[in-house]
Structure 1
Amino acid sequence: MKRYDKQFKEEAIQLVLNQKRPVAAVARELGVHESTLHKWINLYKKHKEDAFPGSGNLRSEDAEIRRLKKQIADLQEENAILKKATGHFRKTPEIAYKFIYQHRFKFRVEKMCQVMRVSRSGYYAWIKRPENNHKIQNRKLLEKIRDVYKISRRTYGSPRITRALKKQGITCGKNRVARLMRDNGIVGKTKRKYKATTNSKHNFPVAENLVNQNFKADRPNIVWVADITYIPTDEGWLYLAAIEDLFQRKIVGWSMDSTMTRQLTLDALRQAVQGYKPSPGLIHHSDRGSQYASYEYQQALRDNQFVTSMSRKGNCYDNACMESFFGTLKTELIYGNRFKTRAEARQAIFEYIEVFYNRIRLHLSVTR
């Protein structure tokens, strides 16, 4: 049975109490039994910050402020779509008509026709025009594409959407999916560069690179990779230490704090070991940062009979899989959002990892 640490329990409770979501729904999304989550909530209500062993406090947030922030973000997104459509959808009148039809419940048809530079009479004539079989099939496929795109939190591009559709038994070519997405303004989020957090200027011993950029495993808990990144908030940096299993591309351990310390990485390791109970001989790969090379962290690896592997100095490709995860996290969640507090960022990252990334998101590098 998987064991959950204090951080996991606290963040799970926040999903119920702060967001006022049903216990059953949150439990299902996190893969936790409903009665277990009820037990955690009751313990917290009775004992507050002393409900679970360890340190850290739950922080409440104003639900009304969160609702208004979401509403503002939605309006900004709609405005951005309309601005983009001004140039993109003027290529042909029919594409403009499609956009207007799809957004007719969000914006006035008259205003959209003005922005798109098409006539209202032409738009209404297009609506009355009967669809041929090809258009009907494209429309149905587009609905499926939009469903997958929504589930992916608007992050999937055409390759992942095509793959998701085929898993549902829907036959479609990647070029057709890409064209429908392009014509209807459905675009997956792209990655940005970000600053490294590795400090390899220390006197701790370093280990040999056993992984050597071979980021594959034939079963779970054979190779784990670890790294640290940072997330900006109005209160200051929030640091995230994470451990990924190479077989599943799943985050098996994580920890967040306001400082980048050895304890941050030790907490992530402890969570991974408690939750997945790997056998001796597991390869633990990381960069040469002082947090991972420290005596305390290396002793924890020895206590679990893990084998240490470290990237070569100054070679970011030696830990590319974790760089990829952090890039995905920032592209799909962090960029475009502003977190007022570290607690707000913690909640969003927790939900992204435990609900979406580990359980829903398709990972193209995982082949079965």
Structure 2
Amino acid sequence: MTTNTGTVVDVVGPGRGGRMSRQRKRDAVLRLLRGEDLESVSRSLGVTAATLSGWRDAFLTAGEASLATRPLDADTLESGRLKAKLGEMLIERELLEAKIAVLEARGPGPFGPQEVAAMSRAVSPARGKAYGLARVCRIWRMSRATVHRHLAPAQSEPSRRPGPVGPMPDAALLTQIRATLAGSPFHGEGHRKIWARLRHKGVRTSKRRVLRLMRTHDLLAPARVGAPRGPRNHDGTIIPERVDTMWGTDLTTTWTVEGQVAVFVAIDHCSAECVGIHAARRATRFEALEPVRQGVRQRFGGFAAAIASGLSVRHDHGSQYMSDDFQAELAFLGIASSPAFVRAPEGNGCAERFIRTLKENLLWVEHFDTVEDLRRALLAFREVYNETWLIERHGFRPPAAIRAAQLPPAVLAA
């Protein structure tokens, strides 16, 4: 470019899009501050003089501001923290005084959501800002969820899960659920087993929908509140892959007209099948052997030395099971003794779970005159349980179906 004076100046204009880097802007401002002519710098950079003047003013303003800023030391930071804490204390005092005034005006009792919401919108004299709902609820000891729930507009229709409800409406499905509960021979079945029984009847729906309907109409099985547990002693699992690999045995008690009666059970850990059940007036070691003997005769085809080799029996440390006679009988039959850990009932959980089912469906709902009546009822319950009780871990199939699927037809026929 040729100037009016005839000198040629190399023009280096802005980059693409009329932009210029921060370093080039800084160099241009420094040229102006060193005394170069504004017009010559403008011509050499291809930038207007107004733009250069704006850069110079911004550069000087920022430099002046940086010089006016003092570094924050530890005392300044601590002073700021104390001032903020003092402000919070003043706000808390204001809210407590307002709470006392409200109580004196309306008398003792819980605050209403309208009063809390009104105070949250009030302006604090100390800060000049609204208190806020979170701070008022915290100091007045109110639940924010309760306030929001009462202040929310009432819905004309109850909310439901979005999406289609399926081919069967809720009223018809509820009728099917009630019929399934009434037709089941067991008490205390949860929504999962009701869902499985509906599928067996040809009613296709989802578990969550069955749970929602049963919960809404108080049809769920009662749940017991568990006690806090310590560390588990058992690692791994007590559920084998095949039947007749591990059995569990335990006892419980019930009452008849003749007095207290002991009930002994033996359960297959794989299929959850009841292989033996017995009732006796006295809970002796010989009576404790009866369920095991029943299972050995039926599952192994006889009662002889080492006939049940490969089988182990899980039991607790009760005096009947730790006795010499009980242990000697297991050794004679070829059964390995597998005692659970002390004070760890989950190690014998299969027998414990069956006893709970037995109590909820027979012992706690029926009365018996004699021990013999109880024995007959126990044997009948064993057949119904093995044929119809659904096991979730086996795809909601009964224990008898698990045994039939694992053993060949010839063995089942024998």
Provide TM-score, normalisation by structure 2: 0.48
Separation in structure 2 between the aligned mates of residue 331 and residue 348 of structure 1, nearest angstrom = 14
Separation in structure 1 between the aligned mates of residue 337 and residue 167 of structure 2, nearest angstrom = 57
Corresponding residue number in structure 1 for 2:391: 363
Distance 1:238 1:189, change over 3 A: farther
Structure 1: which 5+ runs fail to align? 1-132, 194-209
**What is the one-letter code of the residue matched to 1:332?**
N
Divergent runs of 4+, >6 A? none
Q: Which runs of structure 2 are paired with 1:262-281 in the superposition (5 Å)? A: 262-277=285-300, 279-281=308-310
Q: CA contact under 8 A between 2:279 and 2:371: conserved in structure 1?
A: no
Corresponding residue number in structure 2 for 1:144: 176
RMSD over aligned Cα, in angstroms? 2.9
Match of 1:165 among 176, 188, 198: 198
**Paired residues, what number?**
219
Match of 2:261 among 217, 238, 254: 238
Q: CA contact under 8 A between 1:292 and 1:298: conserved in structure 2?
A: yes
Separation in structure 2 between the aligned mates of residue 229 and residue 213 of structure 1, nearest angstrom = 27
**What is the one-letter code of the residue matched to 2:192?**
P
Distance 1:134 1:312, change over 3 A: closer
Per-residue CA deviation, residues 58-79 of structure 1 (Å, 9 max, x unaligned), is xxxxxxxxxxxxxxxxxxxxxx
DSSP 3-state at the match of 1:359: helix
Greater relative contact order, per chain length (Cα 8 Å cut-off, separation 6+): 1
Per-residue CA deviation, residues 294-334 of structure 1 (Å, 9 max, x unaligned), is 22222221122111110122222221221111112112222
Match of 2:359 among 330, 337, 343: 330
Corresponding residue number in structure 2 for 1:221: 244
Corresponding residue number in structure 1 for 2:346: 317
Structure 2: which 5+ runs fail to align? 1-164, 227-232, 301-306, 398-414
> In the TM superposition, what is the alpha-carbon distance from 1:347 to its structure 2 partner?
3.2
DSSP 3-state at the match of 1:358: helix
Separation in structure 2 between the aligned mates of residue 334 and residue 286 of structure 1, nearest angstrom = 22
Separation in structure 1 between the aligned mates of residue 280 and residue 169 of structure 2, nearest angstrom = 50
Separation in structure 2 between the aligned mates of residue 136 and residue 365 of structure 1, nearest angstrom = 28
Provide TM-score, normalisation by structure 1: 0.53
Q: Which runs of structure 2 are paired with 1:1-368 in the superposition (5 Å)? A: 137-149=169-181, 150-188=183-221, 190=223, 214-277=237-300, 279-355=308-384, 357-367=385-395
Distance 1:211 1:257, change over 3 A: farther
> In the TM superposition, what is the alpha-carbon distance from 1:213 to its structure 2 partner?
6.4
Distance 1:349 1:214, change over 3 A: same
Per-residue CA deviation, residues 177-224 of structure 1 (Å, 9 max, x unaligned), is 12333444434355599xxxxxxxxxxxxxxxx986622111110111
**What is the one-letter code of the residue matched to 2:194?**
I
DSSP 3-state at the match of 1:247: coil
Q: CA contact under 8 A between 2:267 and 2:273: conserved in structure 1?
A: yes
Separation in structure 1 between the aligned mates of residue 166 and residue 240 of structure 2, nearest angstrom = 43
